[in-house]
Amino acid sequence: MDALISQYIDPYYLRILMLIGINIILALGLNLITGVTGQLSMGHAGFMSIGAYTSAILSMQMGSPFFLSLLAGAMVAAFFGFLIGIPTLRLEGDYLAMVTIGFAEIIRVFFLNFEPGGKAVGLSGIPQNTTFVLVWTLVIIIIILNAKLLSSRIGRAFYAIRENEIAAEASGINSTRLKVLAFTAGSFLAGLGGGLYAHYMYFIRPQDFAFMKSIELLNMVVLGGMGSIPGTILGSVILTLLPEMLRIVAEYRLLFYGALLVILMIFRPNGLLGDVRVYDIKKKLQGKKVGLWQSSN
């Protein structure tokens, strides 16, 4: 299957499709934390790097099979998400954002000095096991599981915490526990995305997972729509394609991401699709039809 695909799709487009898939996985993880549960995390790339390094080191130095490396990377990232989540998720808004930035920086500095990770030079020669079929199979599975989760009792509780924490608690929701759960699940996906990334790129360095990467992922969630799965996918696609297509965006990334966030906060704080529902569109269309019919009479 993969052989077939690489025969028919141009390597340049194939690469973009791979990156889109990996970014969707990463962004869906962040969407659980920030979009759905409303806990602003600006250090998602830190958890991604834990997954990337853990899985790469396991594959290269312990000879572990690829799937085991991937899973281990995701689990270790989830474990750190859990550990960090317990003390920090009591913090609100800006404080939580700062702590997550700090945590991601600590991880980066750790890998800068980590002998088995090749320090500043990074790791190269990671087996290129991540295939197109694997990435997109995982994307589909993760989208389905995400959709099921978000329409369930636990998913609704996540949204309720974002919407009104006091009212959520009065409904019997243990907000501390559920925030840690969202953070752990989101970090798992970050670690999984990191592992896929490492085994696709062949080569990773600490700076691949710096603050800029966290902001890029945050932008995908915010642009597409906080808490919306289609929105997050749309955001990931747009923000993976844009820097590829417009050199200017790639060169002024920081400026671009900053401006994008500010513009969204002013004009569409819920993102492109964050509060768009089929029900409302239908209602609007029906309303229009009635309007036309009336005016023609």
Q: In the set 4, 133, 145, 245, which binds other proteins (CB under 8 A)?
A: 145
287 is a contact residue toward other proteins (CB under 8 A): no
204 is a contact residue toward other proteins (CB under 8 A): no
Q: In the set 149, 241, 242, 272, which binds other proteins (CB under 8 A)?
A: 149
CA-based nearest residue to 274, from 233, 227, 240, 235: 227
Q: In sequence order, which ranges of the chain are alpha helices (DSSP H)?
A: 2-8, 11-30, 44-61, 66-88, 93-112, 132-150, 153-163, 165-170, 175-201, 211-224, 229-245, 247-251, 253-267, 278-296
Size of the site for other proteins (CB under 8 A): 30
Tell me the C-alpha to C-alpha distance, in Å, between residue 269 and each of 136, 192, 206, 226: 30, 29, 32, 8
207 is a contact residue toward other proteins (CB under 8 A): no
169 is a contact residue toward other proteins (CB under 8 A): yes
Stretch that binds other proteins, among 9-17, 145-153, 189-197, 230-238 (CB under 8 A): 145-153
Please state the closest distance from residue 283 (CB atom) to other proteins, in A: 9
CA quadruple 77, 226, 211, 237: dihedral positive or negative? positive
Stretch that binds other proteins, among 17-25, 94-102, 143-151, 248-256 (CB under 8 A): 143-151
Q: In the set 168, 189, 198, 234, which binds other proteins (CB under 8 A)?
A: 168
User: What gap in Å lies between CA 116 and CA 75, rounded to an integer?
Assistant: 19
Contacts with other proteins by CB under 8 A lie at: 145, 148-149, 152-157, 159-160, 163-164, 166-175, 181, 185, 227, 270, 275, 279-280
